[in-house]
Structure 1
Amino acid sequence: MMETLYPIGIQNFEKIRKEGYLYIDKTALIHQMAKTGSYYFLSRPRRFGKSLLLSTLEAYFQGKKELFEGLAMERLEKDWVKYPILHLDLNISQYSSQKDLEDILNRNLVAWENLYGADPAERSLALRFAGIIQRACEKTGQRVVILVDEYDKPLLQNLHDEAMQTELGNMLKPFYGVLKTMDGCIKFALLTGVTKFGKVSVFSDLNNLMDISMDDRYVEICGITEEEIHTYLEKELQGLASRQKVRYEEMCLELKKRYEGYNFV
């Protein structure tokens, strides 16, 4: 029997699926999100699966049907349309200065402009972002999917510096505001982070995001529930109980006592 491969530290959906790592199937909830709304926000602690969620959404909106074989999505999705995707990951810098944020945003904008074209009249970061969305939609004939990972990291890195927070916020507010002004060209958007967006001024003008952080329909979208542990890891639970020389029921109770620390309801 093949040994279970655990995706420790792996947050790329395609790598997990192609290389045979264990994947806890969240695709029914992802399909529900995609079919019932357009703009979402999700807050969760770090290391809680937000990046994997975005990677799974990216594969889905790229139309990579083969990656979803055997998952709920294979049964639920009938169309498998390929959409242009703008995936912004703000996890990769320390943001010790305003230039750090400008460099990250500019790097992504240049990459997208290489795909969809640029307009020299678009000089600000926000105008370039809006122009890219419009051209991506026109060039592909499909509305754009926007995925933002750790939207609030630049601000969280500077909690001790109010002036720097203000400068960074002034950059991010018009940039994120593009999600509202370009609504006609956007198919779907999800922003994730640690901080609830209602408490962050960069979202003060962005009232079209549905905050699903405490929505009971999506409490299981990240992390692993007790039911999922028994569904996907039952053999491991039995083996652990045997190695510890305790009854299976006692082992389950001990694990629950130690690790049942997060509830989103």
Structure 2
Amino acid sequence: MTRRRYPLGIQTFEKIRKDDMLYIDKTQYIYNMSHADSKYFFLSRPRRFGKSLLVSTMLSYFEGKKDLFNGLAMETLETEWIDYPVLHFSMAGGKHMDKEQLKRYLLFVLKIQEDKYGIVNDDVDPNIRLSKLVMAVYEKTGRQVVVLIDEYDAPLLDVAHEDEDLKVLRDIMRNFYSPLKDCDPYLRFVFLTGITKFSQLSIFSELNNVSNISMKDEYAGVCGITKDELLTNMQEGISELAQANNLTHDEVVAKLTENYDGYHFSAASPDIFNPFSLLSCFSNKDFESYWFASGTPTYLINMLKKFDVLPANLGKMYAKSSAFDAPTENMKTITPLLYQSGYITIKDYDKMSQLYTLDLPNKEIKVGLFESLLPNYLDGIYAEQGDVTIAKMSVLIRQNDMDGALRLLQTFLGTVPYCNVTNYEGHYQQMLFVIFTLLTHFVVDVEVHTPKGRVDIVMLTNERLYIIELKLNHDADTALRQINLKDYAERFALCGKPISKVGINFDSKVGNISDWKIEYNSLMDV
């Protein structure tokens, strides 16, 4: 029997079903929404998480295409199969536009829907066109209209860090969506997807009756692939991946979990795998960082700069429930945006205090995010060369050759332009933190507290624990002396591994390591 093809890059439900591609059944969720008390829904999920496929599935459902749902949950749930008129808008093409371009784009997507129903309208105001379109379709078909809007926030993401441009484009989009409330008598169902939540004070100010299901337990698995779905529907892919990589079934599941699992979209969410990365891994039979390779998170990097977020702080975070309701443009911290974008996820929830614990979901995100941050410390092509250097450093450190790794790093940093030179010691600490984190096999932390002070960097490998102290415009002896005087190694005496002390000095005149010293035979070594 031939294996079902994976629908990589294919977001059309009808094509997937007609071509007998792999489809993870999400139709139960659609039935639940379509028969709920509310008829206005909003879902936030990270990019490439299956939002467009979900919308496409809704399109086929509301158009009454019963045959496409054979063998799916919807086949046994739905009994009426009414063919509703559907207005399907995607805002994905509205990126990188100014005010006038965005207005023209909205008129363009409206005309596509007008042509579908043979409606002529020359109004130049998108919101008036939308209102008239809904009413005209209702009159023409005699049935309430379904409105599906995919990636509603796409025109706003690239200007989320620019207050002036964001306000102008946000107002255009708010005016465009505003008729949906007044058209309520003519509407059967309205569904919007996006990444961010430009909330009650902005985009949705006119749509205050929208049910936000983004963090509802009952909809946590509506996008993405759960662990149960992986083990139930993708056993053949697991077997092929095991054979291609000379791994056992359980080893493949463990590597898939390490790389692509770990997402939670509500307090009681099941484990969710990134669907794009998972399917790409099965198709290519290799464990790579597919999600990051599919697009650079430009808007996120810009927002990290806006909020002065240090790489070392991209890990465990805490947020109250109310933080997730903050409009994107009024955020006081970047935490909600990091969550909505998929770069951190829910790891725990305390119901009494309504406090969420969040962290990086998996290895793919950790590596990809820090690779995206590396150019902030190493310009242009030097960042690409840095990836090779980091890979070589990883090999040397796994061979317990920290001296060789630092020599390699010193040689590489000698190629970085002087424009990266700074007199701020924290700059070099963060740069080393990013580099050491990208070694991928090791656990790295900064500013680790001890009874007598704080260690600049602590790195735990499979074989050894490194205590690293940095100095700027001093010498390596000074750095090593601080480790010994404050007895930093005592703090880690119970780690169960040999402890090495590393003193590193940076010279701000050249922006490079000037010297280093390593004590491999600490009294704590075992």
Shift of 1:118: 4.2
Partner of 1:29: 29
Distance (whole Å) between structure 1 residues aligned to residue 176 and residue 142 of structure 2: 24
Among all aligned residue pairs of Structure 1 and Structure 2, give the percentage whose two residues are the same amino acid. Answer: 43
Q: CA deviation at 1:200?
A: 6.2
Structure 1 residues without counterparts, runs of 5 or longer: none
- Check whether the contact 2:88–2:113 (CA below 8 A) recurs between aligned residues: no
Task: State whether structure 2 residue 5 is matched by structure 1 residue 5.
Answer: yes
Corresponding residue SS for 1:148: strand
- What are the equivalent positions in structure 2 for 1:188-199 lying under 5 Å apart? 188-198=189-199
- Give the deviation of 1:188 after TM superposition: 0.4
Cα deviation, residue 193, structure 1: 0.5
Is contact 1:173–1:202 with CA below 8 Å preserved after alignment?
Answer: yes
Deviation at 1:232? Answer: 0.6
TM-score by length of 2: 0.48
| 1:201 match | 202
Amino acid in the other structure paired with 1:34: S
CA apart distance, 1:242: 4.2
- 1:92 CA displacement: 1.4
**Correspondence list, 1:126-205, <5 A:** 126-198=127-199, 201-205=202-206
Which residue identity lines up with residue 13 of structure 2 in the other structure?
A: F
- The residue aligned with 2:311 is none
Deviation at 1:241, TM superposition (A): 3.1
SS at match of 2:110: helix
Return 87-96 or 215-224, whichever deviates more: 87-96
Instruction: Give the AA of the match of 1:236.
Output: G
- Find the counterpart in structure 1 of residue 119 from structure 2: 117
> Structure 2 CA distance, aligned partners of 1:96 and 1:127?
21
**CA deviation after TM superposition for structure 1 residue 170, in Å:** 1.6
Q: How does 1:34-49 map to 2 (within 5 A)?
A: 34-36=34-36, 37-49=38-50
Instruction: Report which structure shows greater RCO (CA 8 Å, sep ≥6).
Output: 1
- Asked if the contact 1:118–1:132 (Cα under 8 Å) also holds between the matched residues in 2, the reply is no
TM-score with structure 1 setting the length: 0.93
Judge conservation of contact 2:152–2:193 (CA < 8 Å) in 1.
Answer: yes
SS of alignment partner, residue 192 of structure 2:
strand
Q: How far does residue 189 in structure 1 lie from its aligned partner after superposition?
A: 0.6
| SS of structure 2 residue aligned to 1:9 | coil
Between Structure 1 and Structure 2, the one with more strand by share is: 2
User: What secondary structure sits across from 1:147 in the alignment?
Assistant: strand
Alignment check: 8 A CA contact 1:90 1:148 kept = yes
Contact 1:116 1:136 in 2 (8 A): no
Does structure 1 retain, via aligned residues, the 8 Å contact 2:107–2:124?
Answer: no
State the one-letter code of the partner of 2:27.
T
Counterparts of 1:17 and 1:196 in 2: how far apart (Å)?
Answer: 32
Q: Confirm whether residue 63 of structure 1 aligns to residue 90 of structure 2.
A: no
- AA in 1 matched with 2:119: G
1:204-243 → structure 2 map (5 Å cutoff): 204-243=205-244
Moved over 4 A (4+): none
Displacement of 1:257 in angstroms is 2.3
CA contact (8 A) 1:116 1:132 kept: no
Secondary structure of 2:218's partner? coil
Q: More helix by proportion, 1 or 2?
A: 1
Contact 1:13–1:56 at 8 Å: present in 2 too? yes
Deviations 1:194-248 (A, max 9, x none): 1024276111232111001001111111110100001111122234334444443
How far apart, CA to CA, are the structure 1 residues paired with 2:137 and 2:262? 43
Do the aligned partners of 1:54 and 1:147 also contact (CA within 8 Å) in 2? yes
- Match in the other structure for 2:83: 82
Q: Root-mean-square deviation (CA), in Å? A: 1.8
Q: Choose 126-135 or 233-242, whichever is displaced more.
A: 233-242
Offset from partner CA, 1:173-206 (integer Å, 9 cap, x none): 1221111111111100111101024276111232
